[in-house]
C-alpha cells in the first residue's frame, strides 16, 4: 500500500478539520512528518476503528473540501 498522502490543502488546515469532525483526536495523534505517513495513518486507524485505506481516503477528501468539514 502507498501511504503517501495526496493533500490539496496544507496539513495545518487538514489537521484542524479532522479535529472539528472527531473531537477525540488530539494534536498528538495528528503529529505528522513527511515520510512517516504510515505511523500517522496507523494511529488514526486505531483511534477511529477504521482500516488505514479508509482513513487515508477520508483525510485526502477533507483536504479537498477547502475548509468544509464533514
User: What is the pTM for the complete model shown?
Assistant: 0.86
Chain position carrying cell 484542524: 16
For 65: left if phi > 0, alpha if psi spans -120 to 50, otherwise beta; the answer is alpha
DSSP readout, 30-50?
T---TT-HHHHHHHHHHHHT-
What is the full per-residue pLDDT of the chain (70 aa) written as tens digits?
A: 899 999 999 999 999 999 998 999 999 999 998 899 999 999 999 999 999 999 999 999 999 876 555 5
Contact 12/67 with Cβ under 8 angstroms?
no
Helix (H, G, I), strand (E, B) or coil at 8: coil
Question: Domain-by-domain residue ranges, the chain?
Answer: 11-63
In angstroms, the CA 25 to CA 20 distance is 9
Amino acid at each position: 500500500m502507498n501511504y503517501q498522502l495526496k493533500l490539496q490543502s496544507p496539513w495545518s488546515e487538514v489537521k484542524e478539520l479532522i479535529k472539528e469532525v472527531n473531537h477525540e483526536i488530539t494534536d498528538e495523534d495528528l503529529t505528522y512528518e513527511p515520510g512517516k505517513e504510515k505511523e500517522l495513518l496507523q494511529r488514526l486507524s486505531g483511534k477511529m476503528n477504521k482500516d488505514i485505506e479508509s482513513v487515508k481516503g477520508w483525510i485526502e477528501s477533507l483536504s479537498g473540501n477547502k475548509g468544509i468539514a464533514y
